[in-house]
Structure 1
Amino acid sequence: MTEDLEAAAELFKALSSASRLRLLTMLTEAPATVGRLAEASSLSQPLVSQHLRTLRAAGLVSVQREGREARYEIADLHVAHIVADAVQHALESA
């Protein structure tokens, strides 16, 4: 049980950034490249790449290589539900 809680804590740590939540929300709509995410989020490409690295390490996003480009997408629908539920909860608590 302790290991399960540690894994859950790591998941929440990866979700603890508003920028990462924004990127996950964008990826819920459609897979995207780093450049597209940077443009849509107004974050720098290096910062988007860093956030995606964190999300990928947590198993929240996956990457598909298409030639020279890497297209990121949500790893599974549970991730989208976690983010949507957290946002809804925050709105209800405000």
Structure 2
Amino acid sequence: MRTETESPETPADYEAAGELLRALAAPLRIAIVMELAAGPKYVHQIVETLRVTQPLVSQHLRVLRGAGIVRGTRSGREISYSLIDDHIAHIVTDAVHHAREER
């Protein structure tokens, strides 16, 4: 919802929102975002929790990073991933809860 002081949304805003939603469209990427909503995680932690392969997690993290949803911070040989902001966590959490209610 827009307040009186905010300017109206533009086509560019809708395009950016569409790109964000496309990046979140894969179930595994949603699961990764849900994991990162609890705090930063290393790739091996995501792999263990979600029980998928490391290359698959890395591939999806690359998409999320490219979309500006996650950031990676190198610590020695490992990279810790975190959400860029909490808005993404809210969007995904709300979508998951809504889907659960619909069943």
* TM tier relative to shorter chain: over 0.9
Shift of 1:49: 0.3
**Distance (whole Å) between structure 2 residues aligned to residue 17 and residue 93 of structure 1:** 19
Long gaps (5+) in structure 2: 1-9
Match of 1:2 in 2: 11
Following superposition, which runs of at least 4 residues in structure 1 exceed 2 angstroms of deviation? none
Structure whose residues are more often helix by fraction: 1
Report sequence identity in percent: 47
Written as runs of structure 1 = structure 2, the 5 A alignment for 1:36-75 is 36-75=45-84
TM-score (norm 2): 0.86
**Distance (whole Å) between structure 2 residues aligned to residue 65 and residue 21 of structure 1:** 23
Larger Rg: 2
**Distance (whole Å) between structure 2 residues aligned to residue 43 and residue 74 of structure 1:** 20
The CA deviation string for residues 45-73 of structure 1, in whole angstroms up to 9 with x for no partner, is: 00000000000111111111111110001
**Distance (whole Å) between structure 2 residues aligned to residue 11 and residue 30 of structure 1:** 20
TM-score (norm 1): 0.94
Number of equivalenced pairs: 94
Counterpart AA for 1:24? V
Shift of 1:3: 1.3
